[in-house]
Amino acid sequence: MIPDLWYKNAIIYSLSLDSFLDADGDGVGDFRGAMRRLDYLQGLGVSAVWLAPFQPSPRRDHGYDVADYYGVDPRYGSFGDFVEFVNACRQRGMRVIMDLVLNHCSDQHPWFRAALEDPDSKYRDYFIWADEKPEDAHEGVVFPGVQESTWTFSPEVGAWYFHRFFEFQPDLNIANPAVQAEILKIVGFWLQLGVSGFRMDAVPFLIAADGINVSNPEPAYDLLRNIRAMAQWRKGDAVLLAEANIQPSEAIEYFGEDGDRLHMVFNFPVNQTLFYALATGDAAPLKDALRTGPDLPETAQWANFLRNHDELDLGRLSEAQRACVFEQFGPDPDMQIYDRGIRRRLAPMLDAERTRMELAYSLMLTLPGTPVLRYGDEIGMGDDLTRPERDAVRTPMQWSDGPNGGFSLSPEPCNPPISTGPYGFEKVNVAKQRSDRDSFLNWTERSIRLRKELPEVGRGRCTVLDSPDTTLALRFDWEGLGSIFIHNLAEEAAEFSLNCLEEPPNDGDLVCLQTNARSKADANGHYHFSLEPLGYRWFRFGGLDELIQPPGVQH
């Protein structure tokens, strides 16, 4: 067990090296460029940097087609640059989490090339083969409309190989003990070089005991326990964060009943109902998702997010709910993708309306768990729908109104930034917002700083309080600290009372952390609130006065 559970009161910032900052002018972002912006991230309040894949790759899928698990892609720099980056983060009190893509590799990986060339190679069994194309080859595709099959014929082998994702990403045969041994070796290798954990890609597919069963695969959860054991043996504070779009009822299997598997899992059910609430003003499904979540082991944690590098996946909403979200945030078919999601950034979905953006971020920062931010969302970056599929939300960071938005001095960057329209770098950039005390960037920085002063949100017990369906009210309690957060999802003002259910800590007064105003309970123990349309308030019992903390409690 990690003694301080550092990840429970952390702020995680997700970035792609190729789109962050280009230091050598070749048109591709790199480690040296990212190092130049570490003080920016530290000032924003970031605790851990999550790096998208940076290992050697043909980059047909943004590096998720890994060609060497033990390397650094030269376009990003050298091993020396990587280690220097990790050390520079550590000097600023930040940790590094890297993407761990183990369900599949590139068809250019030496393992797969050897499997194709030599029938007696041990690497033939690193992958999954069939002499004839299975009848269900069209089922279980991850990218409907783009991907047609989960099996592709190899002329070199004279057989079909299995791939959950694109045909150039053959699945590894996780059932092979030699593959599992390689996985543990990869984990140990990068921990030895200084990373503090991994964002594990496509975990439900990774642990499928029978990889080719696409309709009802049996999970091999013990693999998660083995990876956890290796990670924490090699580095005691290492953290495993899983991308797993699972039902809440499955969560305990991923965390382990004793908390001996994964540390963190992205909370996809809450994310999807959150966007339904933002689209309709109806918070009831979001409350249900929060109430029906399982009691987690002490070491387990949800990771909350608004947008990431993929589409906004709405696949677990009902058809009617999904239609509502599509209508509000992605009405044009070109804004939709894979029959389940929206390929837009947060700001365009919310029409860059400040009240809606603040409401969304306030919700994300105060949900039970750890917040994860996507690069550029702190300034309200837009998307480029002229680009294919998920590329729309992977445009370069906009630092200034200079050439290429300050991203690169190359006359032809490999990934051109948005340069026109309301989200072009001339209008939306870090430099401009830094100089504006009321900018969204400065609001985000202040909100993150305040959130980090409230450890009960990340570590405490969360209670969903009874409130009108258009509102969400959460109470958190931990080690004598208590907070209440209220949000109004409706476009009309809301007035309501809350019964806080338990004896409030300290003097019982709620202090608004935005206004410093005090709220007292009435004779029946109810607190009365009034919220403007799309409004929010953060309260703490007794405020932020350090004198109210019991001895020995640390943030």
Write down the pTM of the prediction: 0.95
Q: Which residues pair with 390 in a beta bridge?
A: none
Give the C-alpha separation, 529 to 535, whole Å.
11
Note the pLDDT of residue 154.
97
Note the pLDDT of residue 336.
97
**Chain segment 39-81, per-residue pLDDT in tens:** 999 999 999 999 999 999 999 999 999 999 999 999 999 999 9
Taking 3-state DSSP, the helix, strand and coil percentages for the chain, each rounded to the nearest 5, stand at 30, 20, 50
Q: Where does the chain hold its CATH 2.60.40.1180 domain(s)?
A: 461-548
Note the pLDDT of residue 550.
46
Q: Among the CATH numbers 3.30.70.20, 3.30.160.270, 2.60.40.1180, 3.40.50.80, which is that of 461-548?
A: 2.60.40.1180
Which one, of 543, 376, 315, 449, lies nearest residue 19 by Cα? Answer: 376
Compute the average pLDDT of residues 219-245. 93
pLDDT at 487 over 70: yes
pLDDT at 392 over 70: yes
**Chain segment 301-319, per-residue pLDDT in tens:** 999 999 999 999 999 999 9
Helix then strand count (H, E) for the chain reads 16, 22
Note the pLDDT of residue 506.
61
Give the C-alpha separation, 463 to 484, whole Å.
9
pLDDT at 293 over 50: yes
What is the rounded average pLDDT for all residues in the chain? 94
Give the C-alpha separation, 118 to 111, whole Å.
11
**Chain segment 164-181, per-residue pLDDT in tens:** 999 999 999 999 999 999
Give the C-alpha separation, 480 to 338, whole Å.
47
Give the C-alpha separation, 537 to 514, whole Å.
7
List the structure tokens of 519.
């709220």
Compute the average pLDDT of residues 489-507. 84
CATH number given to 110-162 = 3.90.400.10
| Annotation marks residue 201 as catalytic | yes
Q: Which one from 22, 65, 107, 243 is the annotated catalytic residue?
A: 243
DSSP of 395-453: PPP---SSGGGGS---SS-SSPPP-SSTTSTTTS-HHHHHT-TTSHHHHHHHHHHHHHT
Whether residue 289 contacts residue 248, with contact meaning beta carbons closer than 8 Å, is answered with yes
Residue percentage of the chain with pLDDT more than 70: 95
Whether residue 270 contacts residue 304, with contact meaning beta carbons closer than 8 Å, is answered with yes
- Residues with Cβ < 8 Å from 402, sequence gap 6 or more? none
- Residues with Cβ < 8 Å from 471, sequence gap 6 or more? 283, 486, 487, 488, 489, 490, 494, 496, 531
Contacts of 422-428 with C-beta under 8 Å, sequence gap 24+, read 422/352, 422/382, 423/347, 423/348, 423/352, 423/380, 423/381, 423/382, 423/383, 424/382, 425/398, 425/399, 425/400, 425/401, 426/401, 428/379, 428/380, 428/381, 428/382, 428/398
Compute the average pLDDT of residues 533-553. 74
- Measured over all CA atoms, what is the biggest interatomic distance in the chain, rounded to whole angstroms? 81
480 φψ region: left (φ > 0), alpha (ψ -120 to 50), beta (else): left
Per DSSP bridges, beta strands 518-519 and 526-531 are: unpaired
- Residues with Cβ < 8 Å from 445, sequence gap 6 or more? 43, 44, 45, 378
Note the pLDDT of residue 543.
84
Residue for token pair 């057989």:
159
- Name the strand (E) or helix (H) holding 39: helix 38-44
Give the C-alpha separation, 464 to 461, whole Å.
10
Give the C-alpha separation, 104 to 205, whole Å.
9
Compute the average pLDDT of residues 108-129. 97
- Name the strand (E) or helix (H) holding 264: strand 264-266
Q: What distances in angstroms separate CA 114 from CA 107, 108, 110, 254, one per listed residue?
A: 10, 10, 6, 33
pLDDT at 547 over 70: no
Note the pLDDT of residue 213.
67
Q: Which residues pair with 262 in a beta bridge?
A: none
Q: Which one from 18, 107, 201, 477 is the annotated catalytic residue?
A: 201
* H-helix segments, 129-249: 177-192, 203-206, 222-234
Per DSSP bridges, beta strands 159-162 and 151-154 are: antiparallel
**Chain segment 79-94, per-residue pLDDT in tens:** 999 999 999 999 999 9
pLDDT at 123 over 80: yes
The dihedral sign for the CA sequence 31, 365, 483, 317? negative
Whether residue 549 contacts residue 506, with contact meaning beta carbons closer than 8 Å, is answered with no
- Residues with Cβ < 8 Å from 174, sequence gap 6 or more? 102, 103, 180, 183, 206, 207, 208, 209, 211, 220, 223
**Chain segment 411-444, per-residue pLDDT in tens:** 999 999 999 999 999 999 999 999 999 999 999 9
Per DSSP bridges, beta strands 536-541 and 481-488 are: antiparallel
**Banded model confidence at residue 552, pLDDT cuts 50, 70, 90:** very low
Q: Which of 32-36, 184-188, 518-522 has the lowest mean pLDDT?
A: 518-522
Give the C-alpha separation, 371 to 338, whole Å.
26
503 φψ region: left (φ > 0), alpha (ψ -120 to 50), beta (else): beta
**Banded model confidence at residue 214, pLDDT cuts 50, 70, 90:** low
Compute the average pLDDT of residues 388-403. 97
Note the pLDDT of residue 499.
87
- Residues with Cβ < 8 Å from 3, sequence gap 6 or more? none
* H-helix segments, 242-300: 251-255, 268-280, 284-291
SS (H, E, C) 83-130: HHHHHHHHHCCCEEEEEECCCECCCCCHHHHHHHHCCCCHHHHHECEE
Q: Where does the chain hold its CATH 3.90.400.10 domain(s)?
A: 110-162
Note the pLDDT of residue 215.
65
SS (H, E, C) 148-160: CCCEEEECCCCEE
Fold classified for 6-103+177-451: TIM Barrel (3.20.20)
| Annotation marks residue 243 as catalytic | yes
**Banded model confidence at residue 548, pLDDT cuts 50, 70, 90:** very low
Compute the average pLDDT of residues 389-409. 97
Q: What count of other Cβ atoms lies within 10 Å of the Cβ of residue 60?
A: 15
